[in-house]
Structure 1
Amino acid sequence: MSTEAPAAGRIVLLTASHRVAPGLLSWPAWQTLHAADRVVCADEAHPQLPYLREAGITVEHTALTAEELVDACAGSTSRAGGAGAEGPGEGRTIVVLPSGEGDRALTDGLARLAGSGRVQMPDLELLPGSYDLPGARLLDLVQVMDRIRRECPWSSQQTHEGLAKYGIEEAYELVEAIEDGDRDELREELGDVLLQVVFHAAIAQEDEAEPFSIDDVAGTIVEKLIHRHPHVFGDATAETPEEVREHWLRTKAIEKQRDSVTDGIPLGQPGLALAAKLASRVRTAGLEVPLPAGEGIGYALLALAVRAEANGEDPEAALRAAARAYRDAVRAAEGQE
C-alpha cells in the first residue's frame, strides 16, 4: 500500500432486495453507478448484471480484497492488476455489488483497516438500491413452503384432508391470543394461520385435474374484496358500518344466488356460534321466525344465543370469558388446598 497520503476516495456497497425484480433500482443508485470510476462484482451470475449492461455500465468481474479496494480508491495500482495510476492520485469512486449472501470477508476487512488507524480510509457508504415493498416477506414464505413441500418427508405427504384439523386448531389459538391481549403471541398465531393458507395452496398447485396456486388464492380474494366494497372502489356510498354490511350481504347474495339465508353457514362450527350466525342472518333479512319450542338445555341455550346476538354480543366469546373465569376460580381453589 502506498506510504504517501493519497486522496482517500469513496467505496459504495450497492445492495438490492432479492424480493424486487432485478433492474428496478432507485434513481440515486443509477446516478451512482453511472458516475462511478469503477463498478466491481465478484459474482458473475449476479442478477443485476444484465440490466447494468443494458444501461451501458461496465462491470468488472473481480473479487478485490479490502486492501486492494482501498488502494484502488486512492488511485494507486490495484494489487489485483486493476486500472489506476501509479502512486497517489485523485480519490476515485468504486461501486461494489455484493453477492446475495453478502461479502463478509470484504466488509470485515474494511472494518479491520478502518479500526487500525494506520490507513487513510476512503468514505464508506452503504447504498440500498431497492427496498422491500410492503408484503414482500410473503414471497419468502411461499419460497420456503415450496422447498419444504419438496424436501420434507412429512410435509411432502400432507393432504388438504390431513391438514384440516390444524386449520381449526390454529384458528382457536389465534382467538385465544386475541382474548389474552398478548401481542407477541398474536403475531405468532397470525403466522401459524397464514402458514395453513400457504401450505394448502402448495398442495393445491400439485393437483393434476384442477390446480391453483397462492397467486390464484390471492387474486380471488382481491377480486371479491373490490366487488364487495363498491363504496371504496366504485360509485356507491356507505356512511355507517351498517350500510357497509348491507352492501356486503346484498352483493354476496347476488354472487352466491342462494335460495335461503341459511345457505353457506357451516354447521360444523361450535353450537353457540352457529346459533348466533343463524340469528344474525334472520335478523338482517328482516324475517320473523319464532324459535322452535322444545325442552332441554339445547333450546334454552339457543334462546340465550339469539338474545345475545340481538343485543350485539357474541355468545361464544361471552361463554369463553365465563369459562376462563371459572378456570381461574378452579386454580385459585387448588392453590388453597
Structure 2
Amino acid sequence: MSAASVTVGDVTGRIILLTTTHRIAPGLLSWPAWEALRGADRVLCADAAHPQVPYLREAGVAVETAEPDARELVDACAEGATVVVVAAADGEPRLTDGLARLAGSGRTEMPSLELLPGSYDLPGARLIDVVQTMDRIRRECPWSGGQTGEGLVKYGLEEAYELVEAIESGDREAVREELGDVLLQVVFHARIAEEDPDEPYSVDDVAGTLVEKLVRRHPHVFGDAVAETPADVKAHWLREKAAEKSRTSVTEGVPLAQPALSLVAKLAGRARTAGLDVRAGPADGLGGELLALALRAEARGVDPETALRAAARTYREAIHAAEAAAAAPPRQAAEGTAEPERDA
C-alpha cells in the first residue's frame, strides 16, 4: 500500500496506522509522520518496548501504551478525533482485520483509515536483519554456538565453489541463493570474532575496513587520480596494494592453496603487469606441460581454470550420454528382417 490515504465510508474522524522500520535508527521519521503525531488527539502503541516510543516522548508526543480492538478504536474517533496507532513490526494484522470487517459490514460509520509509512528502508538495510539473525543463532543454536573460524573454513570453500558453479550455469536464482550462503560465512566469521578475548572485532569493523580499502584503492573515483582504462584501474590497485603491504615481490599475497591453474594465472598476471620477462624453463613432465598450457591461456586473456572447468562440464555431459547409451535396451530388429515363425 502506498503512502496515500485510503478512505473508507463517511469521515467522522481519522485512524492513522503509522508504520516504521526497525532497520532505521529510531526517531528518524518523515515530516508527514511527525505532523501526524503532533496533530493527533491520541497516539497509541501496543508495545511498551517499541523502539520509537522513547524518542516520540522525548519530542513531546504523549504516547499511550494501549491495544484497543477495532470497535474501541472506531468509537474513539466518533467525535471527529484523530488517533495515530504506532504499528508493531508485523503491521497490527489483528487490528486491521477487525477494521476491515467493520467496514465491510455496512452497519458502522467508519472514520477515515490511513496508512502512513513513517520511514523507509535504505538500500542494504536488510543486512541488519542478517546480523541480528546470526547473533541469535550464535547464542541459541547448539551447533552454531560451538563453531570456530577454523572449523568453518571447509564450508567457506564449498560455498565459494557453489557460487562459481551457479554463476557459470547462468541460473540467476541459484546465484542469488549462493551469494547469500557466501554472505553467511562472512557474517558468521565476524560474529565469532566478536568473542575473541584479546582482539575482538565485529561485522561493522569488517565493513569499515572494506570501505576504507575501496576508497584508498580507487583514487580515480574518490581522489584526483586519472584512470581511463581498466588497465589503468588495475595498475592503481596494485600500486596501492603494494604500498599498503610493504611488499617486495609481486608474488606476495598470492595464496598458494588455490587451485593450481588459478595459481599459475595469478602469478603470470602479476609478472606481466610488473613488466617482468619470465621464462618458464624447459617442460618437466606433465607438470611442465600443464604449466606451459596455463601460461599460454593467461597470455591470451583466457583464465585457464575457467577454460578447463568448461571443458570438464562438456566431458561430464559426454559421460552422461555414454551412460544413457549403455543403459538403453537393445534396439529391435528392423521391420521385415524379423526371424520367420517356425512350424509347430
Using the size of structure 1 for normalisation, the TM-score is 0.91
**Is the CA contact (8 Å cut-off) linking 1:7 and 1:74 kept in structure 2?**
no
Helix, strand or coil at the partner of 1:168 = helix
**Counterpart in 1 of 2:329?**
none
Q: CA deviation at 1:7?
A: 4.3
Q: Does residue 1:71 correspond to 2:104, yes or no?
A: no
For residues 226-260 of structure 1, the C-alpha deviation after alignment (integer angstroms, 9 at most, x for no partner) is: 00000000111111111001100111111111121
Tell me what 1:26 maps to.
Answer: 30
**Residue 121 of structure 1: aligned partner:** 110
SS at match of 2:174: helix
SS in 2 for 1:95: strand
Structure 1 residues 73-115: Cα deviation after superposition (integer angstroms, max 9, x where no partner)? 221xxxxxxxxxxxxxxx3321111233443321111111112
2:204 to 212, 215, 221: 215
Aligned to 2:3: none
Matched residue of 2:17: which SS? strand
For residues 17 and 259 of structure 1, the distance between their equivalents in structure 2, rounded to whole angstroms, comes to 50
* 1:275 paired residue number: 264
Structure 1 position 324, deviation (Å): 0.4
Letter matched to residue 188 of structure 2 = F
Match of 2:47 in 1: 43
Deviation at 1:68?
Answer: 1.3
Task: Say whether the 8 Å CA contact 2:11–2:112 is kept in structure 1.
Answer: no
Structure 2 counterpart of 1:109: 98
Please tell me whether residue 285 in structure 1 is matched to residue 289 in structure 2.
no
Structure 2: how far apart are the matches of 1:146 and 1:6?
A: 48
String of CA shifts for 1:298-334, please: whole Å, max 9, x gaps.
1111111111111111110000000000111111122
Q: What does residue range 1-337 of structure 1 map to in structure 2 within 5 Å?
A: 7-75=11-79, 91-337=80-326
Stretch deviating more after TM superposition (35-44 or 226-235): 35-44
Counterpart secondary structure, 2:84 = strand
| 1:80 match | none
8 Å CA contact 1:12, 1:125 repeated in 2: yes
- The answer to whether the 8 Å contact 2:27/2:55 transfers is yes
- Give the TM-score of the pair, scaled to structure 2: 0.89
- Contact residue 43 and residue 64 of structure 2 kept, 8 A: yes
Range with bigger deviation, 315-324 or 41-50: 41-50
SS of match in other structure, 1:179? helix
Q: Which amino acid aligns with 1:251?
A: E
8 Å CA contact retained: 2:10, 2:110 = no
Cα separation, 2, equivalents of 1:54 and 1:216: 31
CA distance in structure 2 between the partners assigned to 1:124 and 1:216 by the alignment: 44
Name the CA distance, whole Å, in 2 between partners of 1:48 and 1:147: 22
Partner of 1:84: none
Q: What do residues 91-150 of structure 1 show as CA deviations (whole Å, max 9, x unaligned)?
A: 332111123344332111111111212222222111111111111111111111111111
47-56 or 127-136: which moved more?
47-56
Q: Distance in 1 between matches of 2:156 and 2:67?
A: 49
Following TM superposition, the consecutive aligned residue runs of length 4 or more in structure 1 with deviations greater than 6 angstroms are none
**3-state SS in 2 of match to 1:51:** helix
For structure 1, the residue ranges without an aligned partner over 5 or more in a row are 76-90
Distance of 1:214 and 1:109 partners within structure 2:
42
Is the CA contact (8 Å cut-off) linking 1:33 and 1:39 kept in structure 2? yes
1:6/1:74 contact within 8 Å kept: no
Contact in 1 for aligned 2:166/2:178 (Cα 8 Å): yes
Shift of 1:6: 7.5
- Residue identity in the other structure for 2:284: E
SS in 1 for 2:152: helix
3-state SS in 1 of match to 2:77: helix
Q: Over aligned residue pairs, what C-alpha RMSD do you find? A: 1.4
